[in-house]
Amino acid sequence: MQLPRSAGLLLHPTSLPSGRLDGDAYGFVDWLAAAGIAWWQLLPLTPPDSTGSPYFSDSAFAAWPGLLAEPEAPVSAGELASFRARHTYWIADWEAFAGEGAAADQVRFEREWSRLSAYAHERGVRLIGDVPIYIAPGSADHRAHPELFLQAGVAGCPPDGLGPDGQHWGNPLYDWPANRREGYRWWIERFRRSLELVDVVRIDHFRGFIAYWFIPDGAPTAAYGHWRPGPGARLFRAVEAALGNLPLIAEDLGIITDRVFAVRDELGFPGMAVLQFAFDGSPTNPHRPENFREHLIVYTGTHDTDTARGWWECELDDATRGRSGLDPAEPAWSLVELALGSRAALAVLPAQDVLGLGHESRMNLPGTVGPPNWQWRLEPGQLTPELAARLRGAIAAAGRLAG
């Protein structure tokens, strides 16, 4: 996948003032177009768990009806029949799991999302979605396809800079030989569904396809886990054979080996860099702008990091602040300009960083559950015409203006 030099904004629909696909969503698209933004990046559109996390969903296929602007809109028998005919692989499993009205909600979502997507495309704004590697235990897919999952062990990641105990996610792990025997059909259909909704998909935890962290049942922390081999490029080649060229972004953050980078490059997927990770003083740090390659997406931060201002105020010592070269008067905007000015093909900016918001506006703190995670929303009118003009100027100066 070749990306033109451009800029994107990261904002999940739940962070719109209304949290729905209503006038706020269309107004947001208008603001993106005015600011010269070419990409709207989203978190997973699947139903979140009870804490609001979209990464622990009851379905890898169904969209969340909680985003609907008109949740009671009528749905005809013909619309239901058409949707079921086009989504035979998964819709019956979802109806069995979610109950009466589940298919009608998916029709409503398709109707509203198609309108919003077309509106965005008409204004030069394309959509980046997100596919979590894992699903929730007991989810519709876990129940419908138990043969595709291991009967023991759960997912997580080893100790790293985010915590000495690692992260104990608790998701079921895939039985990769079983998935291979099935021809990776479940994955083919999952990517097919994702690419019906968005133009490009970010694959969360890409390194888990190369080797994944196996945590034994009953282990007190993720530190008791170990690495096991994943399917590597074989899975994506199977999906590519079924669907054609794949517009995918590899989230290649964390403890990454040369093998992960080799598979990413073999597949032609762009990877990621995060500027908040760039200032440890190491000249070989891949997050330093001078080490970027063009086939890359650079972020000031992600949904799992603090906001740029929160990072500056709460996480950095004076020596690192001085070494960063960022403007202490406007550290968030300074980081935005650094991302835009880099050689990475695509620079994605969380909305909080464009607004210069602090720690209180962080989207998620990994390793914690419940509020305030996943709760942040824009205030009505917070994205002003003046801010759009300022951002457009910075994007133009960096040679990233859309269209």
Domain that holds residue 227: 6-397
Peptide bond into 44 cis (omega under 30): no
Is residue 366 domain-resident? yes
User: Does the pLDDT value for residue 161 go beyond 80?
Assistant: no
Is residue 115 domain-resident? yes
From the candidates 24, 105, 189, 204, give the one annotated as an active-site residue.
Answer: 204
- Residues 9, 354: contact at Cβ < 8 Å? yes
Q: What is the pLDDT of residue 86?
A: 98
| Size of the chain, expressed as the number of residues it contains | 403
Any catalytic annotation for residue 204?
yes
From the candidates 199, 240, 304, 313, give the one annotated as an active-site residue.
Answer: 304
Domain containing 112 — which CATH number?
3.20.20.80
User: Residue 301 — pLDDT band, cuts 50, 70, 90?
Assistant: very high
Is residue 271 domain-resident? yes
* pLDDT digit string, tens, across residues 14-48: 999 999 999 999 999 999 999 999 999 999 999 99
From the candidates 130, 251, 306, 337, give the one annotated as an active-site residue.
Answer: 251
d(CA 340, CA 21): 29
User: Residue 233 — pLDDT band, cuts 50, 70, 90?
Assistant: very high
Question: Which residue carries 């951002």 as its tokens?
Answer: 391
Q: Global pTM?
A: 0.96
Is residue 402 domain-resident? no
Is residue 233 domain-resident? yes
* pLDDT digit string, tens, across residues 87-125: 999 999 999 999 999 999 999 999 999 999 999 999 999
How many percent of the chain have pLDDT more than 90?
94
Mean pLDDT confidence for 341-366? 97
Q: What is the pLDDT of residue 31?
A: 98
Which residue type is seen at 311?
Answer: W
Is residue 403 domain-resident? no
Strand order across the 167-174 sheet: 167-174, 149-157, 211-215, 226-229
How many percent of the chain have pLDDT more than 70?
99
d(CA 9, CA 1): 19
Q: What is the pLDDT of residue 403?
A: 63
* Average pLDDT, rounded, for the chain: 96
Per-residue buried b or exposed e for 292-320, using 16+ beta carbons within 10 Å of the residue's own CB: beebbbbbbbbbbbbbbbbbbeeebeeee
Q: What is the pLDDT of residue 69?
A: 98
Is residue 172 domain-resident? yes
User: Residue 162 — pLDDT band, cuts 50, 70, 90?
Assistant: low
Any catalytic annotation for residue 304?
yes
DSSP-assigned states of every residue in 7-62: EEEE--GGGSSSSSSSHHHHHHHHHHHHHT--EEE----SPP-TTS-TTS-S-SSP
> Which of 74-78, 167-171, 280-284 has maximum average pLDDT?
74-78
* pLDDT digit string, tens, across residues 58-97: 999 999 999 999 999 999 999 999 999 999 999 999 999 9
Is residue 157 domain-resident? yes
As for how many domains the chain has, the answer is 1
Q: What is the pLDDT of residue 15?
A: 98
User: Does the pLDDT value for residue 132 go beyond 70?
Assistant: yes
